[in-house]
Amino acid sequence: MSITSNSLPEIPSKRYFTIGEVSELCDVKPHVLRYWEQEFDMLKPVKRRGNRRYYQQQDVLLVRKIRHLLYREGYTISGARTQLETTPHNEEARPRGNSLDESSLRRVIAELEDITASLKS
């Protein structure tokens, strides 16, 4: 899934998203998304006929990262912009410390199964 919160819906696997879809996926109003496009150079949705915006998967992840920095971490717009510019682009867009790799997840599941088995006996 994405970065910010378990309360945000999973991002569907499709190529393009409308501004309304991104608004719902990221819990951000469309006018805020348009404002962020002006403030964050890296947020550039594809514009097609009638100047309609079409966001791609990486744009949705970026919006969630911006939302996290502004609303959860308390950054200002310029602080969030600086943070995004200094963060390597290949880094996963999720807060540190909140993710488990597959092997860690398997260990946790195994431990929980052991605890469940010992509680049943």
Query: pLDDT for 2-25, tens place per residue?
Result: 444 458 889 998 999 999 999 999
The structural domain count of the chain equals 1
What is the mean predicted confidence (pLDDT) over 88-101? Answer: 50
Q: Is 84 contained in some domain?
A: yes
What's the CATH number where 63 sits? 1.10.1660.10
Q: Please identify which residue in the block is written with the tokens 């605890």.
A: 115
59, part of any domain: yes
Q: Coil, strand, or helix at residue 31?
A: helix
What is the model's pTM?
0.66
Report the sign of the C-alpha dihedral through residues 25, 27, 31, 33, in that order: negative
Q: Which carries the bigger pLDDT value, residue 26 or residue 104? A: 26
**For residue 75, is pLDDT > 80?**
yes
> What is the residue range of 40's domain?
19-93
Percentage with pLDDT > 70 across the chain? 83
Does residue 62 form part of some domain?
yes
The residue type at 40: F
In a domain, 70, yes or no: yes
Mean pLDDT, the chain, whole residue set:
84
Residue 51 in any domain: the answer is: yes
The b-or-e profile of 8-24 (16+ CB within 10 A means b, else e) is beebeeeeebebebbbe
* Alpha-carbon separation of residue 15 from 11, 18, 46, 97 (angstroms): 11, 10, 11, 29
In this structure, is residue 35 part of a structural domain? yes
103 occurs within a structural domain: no
- pLDDT confidence of residue 101: 63
Q: How far apart are CA 25 and CA 17, in angstroms?
A: 10
How many CB atoms are located within 10 Å of the residue 98 CB? 10
Do the domain assignments include residue 41? Answer: yes
